[in-house]
Amino acid sequence: MGTEINRFVEYMEKEKHASRNTLASYKRDLTQLADYLQEKGVESVPKVTKTALNSYILFLEKNGKASTTISRVMASMRAFFHYELRQGMIHRDPTEFLKTPKIEKKAPEILSVDEVERLLDQPGESSPKEIRDKAMLELLYATGLRVSELIGLRVADVNLDIGFVTCRDGNKERTVPFGKTAKRALLGYLEHSRDFLLKGGDLPELFVNCSGQPMSRQGFWKIIKYYGEKAGITKDITPHTLRHSFAAHLIRGGADIQAVQMMMGHADPATTQAYIYYAVKTQDPLLRAYQAAHPRK
């Protein structure tokens, strides 16, 4: 199935202009499916049945995969077998009657303004690494970028004069402003840290690790976890937590929801509207009293 998977991923890239993250998910999900099916003796696309796919879904559930992960895998499977059907490689789509697991929607984890300030105050200026960490955290909270967008920024994507960054995901591009605090942190990083970390190298990426290579997702996750623990914050902090907090704090402060939607890069307005509940809940004393006291709140 490897050849068919590669052909499908190439099609999604060239014809559908899928983002890099989406393409990586398709490749990973389908390759893992193919490995499982091969172990069961199913080595070609026409031999894949609904029963075989259901067996794989049960396998994922038994191995503790979250419903969100299984739903993503099923979306990859559906896209692939729909493509194979259109190409005439199969005569019936084995994903046609598969049932997607129910996903319990959880409210996004939001930090309070005080918690954000404690987090951002943790990196000092005693080393090039801390100066870089400060710049990354300040910019993330100032813009609400996704972690992939943050580590994918190039030096040329930052306009310090006007105060905005240009981020890209596949063929999608948007511009997001940032304020004076993030600007100061970025200037400090560019003037006193980046060249030291590059160790004489030359990279287009804005943020680099201590080995002079582009910062990775895993590397930045470790950074934000470290400073979260150092700040004494008990909530589960991830890069996405600062993204959620950015949006919620803007809306609570009176920002136009359409403007926030554009800055976040949300295709669906409903995704941005989820932050309104947090904004109202934390601002309206009547709602806080109701939530705290009513037996059927």
**Same domain flag for 133 and 279:** yes
> Which amino acid, residue 277?
Y
Q: Are 98 and 57 within 8 A, CB to CB?
A: yes
Looking at residue 278, its pLDDT comes to 60
**Same domain flag for 148 and 280:** yes
User: What CATH number does residue 127 fall under?
Assistant: 1.10.443.10
**Same domain flag for 124 and 253:** yes
Tens-binned pLDDT, residue by residue, of the chain (297 aa): 889 999 999 999 988 888 888 899 999 999 999 999 999 999 899 999 999 999 999 999 888 888 888 889 999 999 999 999 999 999 999 998 888 776 555 666 788 899 999 999 999 888 999 999 999 999 999 998 989 899 999 999 999 999 999 987 666 788 899 999 999 999 999 999 999 999 988 999 999 999 999 999 999 999 999 999 999 998 888 888 888 888 888 888 888 778 888 888 877 676 676 666 665 555 444 445 445 554 554
**Same domain flag for 55 and 149:** no
Neighbours of 65 (CB within 10 A): 15
- Smallest CA-to-CA distance from 137 within 153, 157, 149, 122 is with 122
Q: In the chain, which ranges are E strands?
A: 158-159, 164-169, 172-177
**Same domain flag for 71 and 126:** no
Looking at residue 284, its pLDDT comes to 46
Q: Are 141 and 242 within 8 A, CB to CB?
A: yes
User: What CATH number does residue 20 fall under?
Assistant: 1.10.150.130
In a domain, 189, yes or no: yes
Q: Listing from the earlier edge strand, what are the strands of the sheet with 164-169?
A: 158-159, 164-169, 172-177
Q: Please give the tally of structural domains in the chain.
A: 2
pLDDT digits (tens, 9 = 90+) for 10-19: 999 988 888 8
pLDDT digits (tens, 9 = 90+) for 46-58: 999 999 999 999 9
Q: Are 152 and 168 within 8 A, CB to CB?
A: yes
Report the distance separating Cα 296 and Cα 235, nearest Å: 26
Structural domain span for residue 257: 113-284
Report the distance separating Cα 33 and Cα 174, nearest Å: 34
In a domain, 103, yes or no: no
Looking at residue 16, its pLDDT comes to 85
Angle at Cα 17 formed by Cα 15 and Cα 21, nearest 5°?
A: 135
> Which amino acid, residue 144?
G
**Same domain flag for 123 and 200:** yes
**Same domain flag for 197 and 75:** no
In a domain, 96, yes or no: no
- Smallest CA-to-CA distance from 4 within 71, 97, 94, 85 is with 85
The one-character DSSP state at 164 is: E
What is the rounded (10 degree) CA torsion for 17, 19, 25, 28? 70
Would you call 268 exposed, middle or buried from its count of C-beta atoms within 10 A (0-12, 13-18, 19+)?
Answer: exposed
Angle at Cα 130 formed by Cα 205 and Cα 188, nearest 5°?
A: 65
In a domain, 154, yes or no: yes
What is the rounded (10 degree) CA torsion for 107, 113, 114, 119? 80
**Same domain flag for 253 and 127:** yes
**Same domain flag for 61 and 187:** no
Domain-ending residue, one of 46, 67, 86: 86
